[in-house]
């Protein structure tokens, strides 16, 4: 798997180099960001696009039920798009398309075919196809994307919470949060994500822990929910904050009025529910101490997930794996590596990677990690897929050595 190291070091680390691309040298590269219905996916696409420092055309797409067809055995092209979205795909064709997840893969490959093979494809997350069919896959450990010369695995996802964004949010929200003294302790709530469930009891326990620390050390407690937060959990947190023995509040707001970035910027410590990879990544990007509120996989879904986790670990030669589990794991792993099957999304692998890299702790013991420069590392690889820079174009971000020097390899 391609390690997250500067481009000039990767060549000496045995990492494969993307092929050179021939294109018109007298214009900036054309980049399309294929956007879908999921905010988290869109934010990752835009985070990578923004890190490239080039003009980007956002292309919002809507899909029909054909999006559910597996990518492993062929492409649906534009057929999976709603009719109103199809006219958005027209020449001049881009040099690069960036998408996320499964549904945009057939569209991206259709664009590449129409461009005569010129367009490069970067996919984020889990494309549900052989990564060799794409030019780069930027992924995270929960997906189990098989390693290969076009796969870049990072311990956390791409985030738009850059130092510049956080500084602007701090300035915008400082006066509004002035009544809540430091140290401010933030509780960021996600929600259920099958088969993972966010239990009200875990969130209430986190509230009590935050209140106790604020009573002992001073400060305040602030919470925020998301669209996925179950109503029962949000109501329980509101009730706990209303009766708290320390300055506390449940922050509300959507869109440009959302306090989310302001809370991340002005908090001194952040607890985030472990279901949301995007919010975990945002929290770690602040450089503040971060603790994870547990979520649980129960029922048949949880049992199935634990079974497949055992097979995936056995395929990776986990020491405790017996002969039969190892054989079964390697058989399934072989199908995964051939692009004929996949591992289920299992957050357990993400949490273990974060633990190894010291990026987050627990409710009782938050950890201040060294945020990995995922966007910069991915952008360094993507730039080598782009056409040559126009003479005098001065693409500052294209200079070698701008990626995070510490680098994070695949766990």
For residue 94, being part of any structural domain is answered with: yes
Pair (92, 198) in one structural domain: no
pLDDT of residue 320: 62
Residue 130 to residue 271: CA distance in whole angstroms: 36
Structural domain boundaries, residue 185: 163-296
Task: Pick the last residue of a domain from 263, 296, 329.
Answer: 296
Please report the pLDDT score of residue 350 as a whole number. Answer: 98
Residue 3 has pLDDT above 60, yes or no: no
| Residue 337 falls inside a structural domain | no
Residue 307 lies in a domain: no
Whether 204 is covered by a domain: the verdict is: yes
Q: Please state the domain count of the chain.
A: 2
Residue 120's nearest CA partner among 48, 245, 31 is 31
286: tokens are 């602040």
Is 312 part of any domain?
A: no
From the centroid of its chain, how far is CA 273? 15
Same domain, 133 and 211: no
DSSP strands (E only) in 114-159: 120-124, 136-139, 151-153
Tell me which residue of 109, 116, 145, 148 sits closest to 132, measured CA to CA. 148
CA 88 from chain centre, in angstroms, equals 26
User: Chain-wide mean pLDDT for the chain?
Assistant: 88
Summarised one tens digit per residue, pLDDT across range 308-324 is 999 999 998 866 667 88
Residue 268 and residue 169 in one domain: yes
Structure confidence at residue 324 (pLDDT): 86
Both tokens of 149, joined, read 């010369």
The last residue of a domain, from among 277, 296, 315: 296
What would the DSSP string read from start to end of 240-271? HHHT-SSSEEEE---GGG--HHHHHHH-SEEE
> What is the percent of the chain where pLDDT is above 90?
77
Query: Same domain for 227 and 100?
Result: no
What is the Cα–Cα distance from 89 to 86, expressed in whole angstroms? 6
In a domain, 279, yes or no: yes
Domain boundary among 296, 331, 350: 296
Q: Scan for tokens 């292309």, then name that residue.
A: 59
| Distance set, CA 82 to CA 34, 63, 64, 92, 128 (Å) | 14, 5, 6, 21, 21
Classify the C-alpha dihedral 390-395-399-404 as positive or negative. negative
**pTM (2 decimals)?**
0.86
- Looking at the fold, whether 126 and 198 belong to one and the same domain comes out as no
* Residues 170 and 135 occupy one common structural domain: no
| pLDDT per position as a tens digit, 25-35 | 567 789 999 99
Over range 203-231, report the average pLDDT. Answer: 97
pLDDT tens, 78-122? Answer: 999 999 999 999 999 999 999 999 999 999 999 999 999 999 999
What CATH number is given to the structural domain containing 55? Answer: 3.40.50
Do 187 and 244 reside in the same domain of the chain?
A: yes
* Residues 174, 147 share a domain: no
What is the pLDDT averaged over residues 231-245? 97
Three-state secondary-structure class, residue 286:
coil
Assess whether 187 and 75 both reside in one domain.
no
Residue 278 in this model has a pLDDT that exceeds 50? yes
């Amino acid at each position: 798997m391609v390690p997250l190291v500067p481009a000039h070091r990767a060549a000496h680390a045995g990492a494969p180099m993307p092929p050179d691309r021939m294109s018109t040298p007298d214009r900036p590269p054309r980049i399309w960001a294929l956007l879908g219905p999921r905010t988290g996916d869109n934010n990752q696409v835009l985070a990578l696009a923004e890190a490239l420092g080039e003009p980007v055309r956002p292309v919002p797409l809507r899909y029909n039920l054909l999006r559910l067809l597996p990518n492993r055995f062929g492409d649906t092209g534009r057929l999976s798009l709603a009719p109103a979205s199809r006219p958005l795909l027209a020449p001049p064709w881009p040099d690069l398309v960036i998408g996320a997840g499964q549904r945009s893969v057939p569209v991206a490959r259709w664009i590449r075919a129409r461009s005569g093979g010129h367009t490069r494809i970067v996919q984020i997350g889990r494309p549900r196809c052989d990564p060799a069919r794409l030019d780069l896959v930027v992924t995270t450990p929960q997906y189990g994307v098989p390693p290969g010369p076009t796969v870049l695995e990072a311990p956390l996802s791409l985030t738009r919470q850059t130092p510049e964004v956080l500084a602007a949010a701090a300035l915008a929200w400082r006066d509004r949060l002035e009544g809540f003294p430091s140290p401010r302790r933030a509780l960021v709530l996600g929600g259920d994500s099958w088969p993972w469930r966010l239990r009200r009891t875990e969130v209430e326990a986190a509230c009590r822990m935050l209140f106790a620390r604020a009573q002992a050390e001073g400060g305040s407690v602030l919470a925020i929910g998301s669209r996925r937060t179950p109503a029962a959990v949000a109501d329980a947190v509101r009730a706990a904050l209303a009766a708290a023995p320390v300055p506390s509040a449940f922050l509300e707001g959507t869109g440009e009025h959302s306090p989310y970035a302001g809370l991340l910027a002005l908090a001194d410590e952040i607890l985030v529910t472990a279901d949301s990879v995007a919010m975990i990544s945002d929290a770690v990007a602040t450089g503040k101490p971060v603790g994870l509120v547990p979520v649980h996989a129960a029922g048949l879904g949880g049992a199935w997930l634990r079974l497949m986790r055992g097979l995936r670990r056995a395929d990776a030669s986990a020491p405790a794996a017996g002969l039969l589990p190892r054989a079964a794991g390697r058989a399934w792993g072989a199908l995964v590596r051939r692009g004929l099957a996949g591992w289920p999304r299992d957050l357990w692998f993400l949490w273990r990677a974060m633990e190894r890299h010291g990026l987050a702790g627990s409710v009782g013991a938050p950890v201040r990690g060294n945020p990995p420069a995922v966007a910069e590392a991915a952008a360094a690889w993507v730039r080598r897929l782009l056409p040559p820079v126009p003479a005098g174009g001065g693409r500052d971000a294209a200079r070698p050595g701008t990626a995070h020097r510490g680098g994070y390899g695949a766990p």
